[in-house]
Amino acid sequence: MKITFRDTLEGVGPDQLGGRFFDGWPNPPSTPTFLKLLEQSYAVELAVDEDTGNVVGFIQAISDGVLSAYIPLLEVLPEYQGKGIGTDLIKRMFNRLSGLYMIDLLCDAELQPFYEKQGMHKASGMVIRHYQNQSGAANS
């Protein structure tokens, strides 16, 4: 298995995004909606399995490009997890965002040690979730 990393969606279409991302989401985005949210991001980093040409992991950042960035999604397909791909995606994204002041994300407590290894600190936060909009269909 040869995994390469890319910082662009060039050459990536729905056919390369067909893996079972959004694992565990009751109402996940469709593949075209997935592509759209990547396209409309401030920055994306992709992990590609060169044997298949398919995207097997991704990280997305949204930002004002001045002070702040937020990382909504990071995911590696289950069969590719535990091989360092997630760590590489974060490192690459943090490098891209290193000129900004704030880089924030939310995660389950069990993943906090994973992010602490990348220099992040625990914080508290507040959220709203409109679950009826989880698929993003109304905005695609």
Ligand X SMILES: CC(C)(COP(=O)(O)OP(=O)(O)OC[C@H]1O[C@@H](n2cnc3c(N)ncnc32)[C@H](O)[C@@H]1OP(=O)(O)O)[C@@H](O)C(=O)NCCC(=O)NCCS
Residues that bind ligand X (CB under 6 A): 23, 74-76, 81-87, 105, 107, 110-111, 114
Q: Measured between alpha carbons, how far is 79 from 38 in angstroms, rounded to an integer?
A: 22
CB-nearer residue toward ligand X: 66 or 127:
127
Q: Note whether 71 and 93 are within 8 A (CB).
A: yes
**Least separation in angstroms between CB 89 and ligand X:** 7
CB-nearer residue toward ligand X: 10 or 135:
135
CB-nearer residue toward ligand X: 129 or 138:
129
CB-nearer residue toward ligand X: 19 or 86:
86
Residue nearest to ligand X according to CB distances in the complex: 86
Q: Measured between alpha carbons, how far is 116 from 112 in angstroms, rounded to an integer?
A: 6
**Least separation in angstroms between CB 10 and ligand X:** 23
Write the CB contacts of 104 (distance below 8 Å, at least 6 apart in sequence).
68, 69, 70, 71, 123, 125
**Least separation in angstroms between CB 118 and ligand X:** 10
Q: Measured between alpha carbons, how far is 137 from 79 in angstroms, rounded to an integer?
A: 27
Q: Note whether 43 and 63 are within 8 A (CB).
A: yes
Of 17, 23, 69, 19, nearest to 38 by C-alpha is 17
